Chain A
C-alpha cells in the first residue's frame, strides 16, 4: 500500500468525474423523457387517433349506406358493423344528428363527421353506437318509407 499521497494535477477526481457523468446522463434522460412525453408523444397520439376516427367514420357510413335495400314491400335488414374497440386508448360514441354521422370522443382533438348519402325513401335515421358493443344497423320499412336504426345486437335480438 502506498503510504505517500502525492498532490495530483488532475482536473477532477475520478469519483467526482464519474458522479458528474452519471448526473449528466440522468438529467439528460429526464429532460428527454419530459420533452417527448410532455409534448411530442401526445400530439402524435392525437394525430393518429384523429386519422383512425376519420377512417372508422367513413367505414361506418359506407356500411350504413350499403345496408339500405332496393325497394321491397316488406324489408328488414340487419347488418353487423365492425368498429374498433377503442381510439387513442379510450372508448367513443358514434351518433346521428339529422343525416350526419358524428364520432364523439372524450379527447377534444378527435372528432369526425360525415354526411350520409341515403335515398329519399329513407324517412328517419336514429340511434347510435358505443364502442365495444356488437354494433348493427337495422333497416326496416316498405317501398316508400324506410327507417334506419343504429343499435346493438342484443337489443335487436331482444325485439325478436
Chain B
C-alpha cells in the first residue's frame, strides 16, 4: 500500500465528489426553476380572461342571445366597454379576436392566458316576398324569424291572418297597410289568410349565423 498515492487519490476523489455535488445541485435548481414556472397558473390573468369572455358571450349589449354574438355590436366594442363589462380586465393588456379578426387590442398581451369560447355570429337579414293569397290560403316561412311584417296591397280584401292557428290580425273591412306580427324563434311560422284575397308583401328577418371562435387574451 503506497501511502502518498492514497493521500493524493483521496484528495483528488474528494475534488471530483465536490464537483459532482455542485453540478447535481445546479441541475436541481434548474429543474426547480422550470417546475415553478410550470406551476404558475397566472390566476389573476385567467380570472380577467374568463370574466371578459363570459361577459362578451352572455351580455345583452353584445349578443342576440347567449352564445350568439351580434355582428354590428362586436365591431364597435372598445376598451371602455370591455372594462365596464368585465372589471377585472381593467389596467391589463387585452386582445379580443373572433376567428382571425382582431376586434380590439390594448397593450401587448403576448404571453398571457387565452380563453376560447365557441359562438355563433348573427347577422340579421331581410327576406321579402310578395305572394298572392286566396281565401284559405297559407304561406310557410322557411326560416324562423322573431317578427314578420305584412304589407297589404290597396285592393286586397283579406280579413283575417292567422299565425300557426292563432289569429293575429283581423279587420272585417279588409286589412290595409303595414302590420308587424310577432313570431317565435322556436316555431316555424305558417301564415293563413282568410276572408278574401289579394297581394301581400311578407317581410321576415331571419338571422343568418355562422360559427366562430372567440379568443380573449389577457396579460398583466
- In the complex they form, whether A and B have CB atoms below 8 Å apart is answered with yes
B residues 75-124 touching A (CB-CB < 8 Å): 86-91
Q: Which of B35-82 contact A (CB under 8 A)?
A: 36, 39-44, 46-48, 51
A24: nearest chain-B partner, CB-CB: B14
A36 to B47, CA, bound (A): 34
B83, closest chain A residue (CB)? A115
Q: For the complex, is B7 an interface residue (Cβ under 8 Å from A)?
A: yes
Whether, in the assembled complex, A1 has its beta carbon less than 8 Å from a beta carbon of chain B, the answer is no
Q: What's the dominant secondary structure at chain A's contact region? A: helix
What residues on B are CB-neighbors of A47 within 8 Å?
36
Most buried by B among A12, A32, A36, A54: A54
Q: Is the CB of A40 within 8 A of B14?
A: no
* Residue contact B88 to A117, C-beta cutoff 8 Å: yes
How far is it, in angstroms, between the C-alpha of A35 and the C-alpha of B46 when the chains are bound? 35
Chain B interface residue count, CB cutoff 8 Å, equals: 30
The complex places the Cα of A55 from the Cα of B87 at a distance, in Å, of 18
B10 near A17 (CB under 8 angstroms)? Answer: yes
On chain B, the residues within 8 Å of A114 by CB distance are: 44, 47-48, 88
Contact present for B25 and A54 (CB under 8 Å): no
Does A10 sit within 8 A of B, measured CB to CB? yes
In the complex, whether A11 has a CB less than 8 A from a CB of chain B is yes
**Minimum Cβ distance to chain B for residue A41 (Å):** 10
Set of chain A residues within 8 Å of B43, measured between Cβ atoms: 51, 54-55, 57-58
The residues of B that contact A14 with a CB separation of less than 8 Å are 3, 7
- The answer to whether A21 touches B10 (Cβ under 8 A) is yes
Contact residues, A107-160 vs B (CB, 8 A): 112, 114-118
In chain A, positions 6-30 with a C-beta closer than 8 Å to chain B are 8-14, 17, 20-21, 24-25, 28
Residues of A within 8 A of B (CB): 8-14, 17, 20-21, 24-25, 28, 32, 36, 40, 44, 47-48, 51, 54-55, 57-58, 61-62, 99, 112, 114-118
Binding site for A on B (CB under 8 A): 3-4, 7-8, 10-11, 14, 18, 21-22, 25, 29, 32, 36, 39-44, 46-48, 51, 86-91
